Amino acid sequence: MKLLLDSSSSLLFSLLLAQLPVFTSASPVPQRRPSDMDKLSNQTRNLMKLTQELLREHAFDPDVEPHRFRSLPEMSNRSANDLNNLELKPTLSQLHADLKLYEHHFEWLNKVSKKHQHPALPKLVEMIKEMKSLINLLHRQMLRVEAPRLTPATPSLPPHLPYQFDVLQSSHELLQHFRLFCEWAYRAFISLKPKVSAVQ
C-alpha cells in the first residue's frame, strides 16, 4: 500500500514538472514601455505618413515653381552620413526650432486653404495637430537633457495667393520639403536614442 502511495506521489510530481513550462509560457510577459525617443520617432513616422498621403491623394502639379518659401530649414546639408556623428543637445534644439518653423508655415497654409476651400483641409488640420504634439514631446525631452531652446527663424511667407492653383503649388512645395525633413528627423531620433540613455 505504501509503495502504491509513493508511486502515485512520484507520478503526480512528474506530471507537475512536465506542465511547468506550459504554466511559465502562459504567464503574460511584461511589455517594455516605449521611451520618449521611441515616441518621438514613432510620431515623426506618423507625420511622414500623413504627408505622403496628402501628396498621393491630391493631384498636385509636379512642375512646381521652386523656392516660394525662403525660410524653410535647409535640408541639402543633412545627409545619412551625418547621423552617426550627431550631438544630442544641439540636434534636439535644432529639430525643435525647425518644427516650430514648419508649424508657422502650415498654419499659414491652413488659413489660405480655408479661403479657397482646399479639399486637403481636414487632413491638413490633423497634420498640424500631430505636429504640435510632436513639438511638445520634443520640448519635454529637451528639458530632461537640458538642451537649450533656440529662437526659430522668422517665416518668410509668400504674398497673397489669389488663385487655388497658387495654393496647390504652395502646398506641394511645403509637403515635399516637410517629407524630406521627417525622413531625416526620424533617423536622427533613432540615432540619438543611445546618447539619451547615456545622459539620463
Least confident of 23-32, 45-54, 91-100, 147-156: 23-32
CB 72 within 8 A of CB 97: no
Look up the pTM and report it.
Answer: 0.78
pLDDT of the residue at 60:
53
What does the pLDDT look like over 104-158, one tens digit per residue?
A: 999 988 888 777 676 666 788 899 999 999 999 999 999 999 999 998 888 888 7
For CA atoms 62, 67, 71, 73, give the dihedral sign.
Answer: positive
Question: Does the structure show a pLDDT above 50 at 13?
Answer: no
Asked whether the predicted pLDDT for residue 40 surpasses 80, the reply is yes
pLDDT grade, residue 69 (50/70/90)?
confident
Give the closest residue to 193 by CA, choosing from 21, 10, 38, 28. 38
Contact (CB, 8 A) for 36 and 195: no
Q: Is the predicted pLDDT of residue 68 greater than 80, yes or no?
A: no
pLDDT tens-place string over residues 78-89: 887 889 899 999
> What pLDDT score does 22 carry?
44
Cell of 52: 505622403
Q: Which helix (H) or strand (E) holds 179?
A: helix 164-199
Using CA atoms, how far apart are residues 119 and 116, in angstroms rounded to an integer? 9
pLDDT at residue 12 tops 70: no
The mean-pLDDT minimum among 13-22, 87-96, 148-157 falls in: 13-22
Q: Please identify which residue in the block is written with the cell numbers 518653423.
A: 101
Question: Which residue in the block uniquely carries the three cell numbers 500623413?
Answer: 50
Stretch 55-64: mean pLDDT: 62
